Amino acid sequence: MNTTMMPVIESGFEALPSCLGMSGIQGKRCMIVADENTAPLFAEKAREKLQQAFSEVPVYVLPAGEEHKKLETLDGLFRELIRLHFDRHDVIAALGGGVVGDMAGFAAAIYLRGIRVIQLPTTLLAQIDSSIGGKTAVDFDGYKNMVGAFHMPSLVYSNTAALATLPAEQFTAGMGEVVKSALLADAEYFRFLEAHAAEIKAMDLGRMTEMIRRCARIKVGIVERDPLEKGERALLNLGHTIGHAVEKAKNFELLHGSCVALGLIAASSISQNRGLLKETDMERIRAILEAFGLPLSVSGLNAEEILSLTKSDKKMKAGRIRFVLLRSIGEAFCAEDVTDEELRSGICAILRP
């Protein structure tokens, strides 16, 4: 498995050719895979720079949205790769958010048993989380990321200027993963988010770049120590077990980062009930999520439905959920003894009539 590397963080695509050169990435063909949202905004700009490293840079456009994140959607991409005679020396460039990154990365992982992929994330969530670490997947039968592979990108190039094009709700949802990163590993980073929330919400480029870099550093460090999620990497699932269950129960109508925020509240509530988190810590967690416009509760669901969905979580081990809890802000751990009663209590903490 390739070594995980820090993303390149730039404002624009201008530095992309030199980054490809320094990474030793060259070849005849590079297929840009984007979706209907990102292709009109960024495909031609990225293509212009990629043509300095590759002689052929075709663009393949996927339908946009989580509902299309499935195996069948990749059929057309594989046919196009075969038609153009892409071989193991060629490259796929994933241009877009987390769905595009996951799907294009998965296609690269299984086409000809694996070709290189570069990630060009254009959303906050993708830049600080999903483009880093080599997890690729599609949803299956309504279960999120159930079919996938580990396939490390040869380069992650984050264009922060692209964030200015994000709808407000997409930026807000990305902050769910930002807060998660601080909660699980870095209390000082959490204080940074508290201190600079107003500047981050105003998309101050300096603060944003610092936030993205620090978030990426947390994930890269964990992935390098545990690339295949045999131990420490599972901590990155903080907020995700119940978050994914809510996401499925709401038929993916809520954005992923918003569901993670709900999962953080549930996990924090369980941690507090165990006597680990202080009430003041719980208040700070709620306050920072609220400051970034993230939801603290959800309606239209019931606890038993969400509890049942957690049983299909891919993080199960020997029939038990590896649930990530908090000892304090900045210190997470995996517990395999979380009971249904505790889960139900955590779920009830985020439900409103």
Q: Which residues pair with 298 in a beta bridge?
A: 351
For the chain (353 residues), the mean pLDDT of every run of 10, in chain order, is 77 96 90 98 98 97 95 98 97 97 98 98 96 95 92 97 93 96 97 97 94 96 91 95 95 93 98 97 98 97 95 65 95 96 98 89
pLDDT the model gives residue 27: 82
CA-wise closest residue to 20 among 62, 60, 57: 57
DSSP secondary structure code for residue 37 in this structure: T
Compute CA distances 182 → 52, 191, 328, whole Å. Answer: 38, 9, 11
Cα(324)–Cα(343) distance, integer angstroms: 12
Task: State pTM to two decimals.
Answer: 0.91
CA-wise closest residue to 126 among 261, 219, 44, 227: 219
Cα(162)–Cα(45) distance, integer angstroms: 11
CA-wise closest residue to 316 among 229, 218, 221: 229
Cα 101 to its chain centre, rounded Å, is 9
Burial of 93 (0-12, 13-18, 19+ CB in 10 A): buried
What domains sit in the chain, N to C, each tagged with a CATH number?
8-165 (3.40.50.1970), 168-348 (1.20.1090.10)
pLDDT the model gives residue 230: 87
pLDDT the model gives residue 144: 87
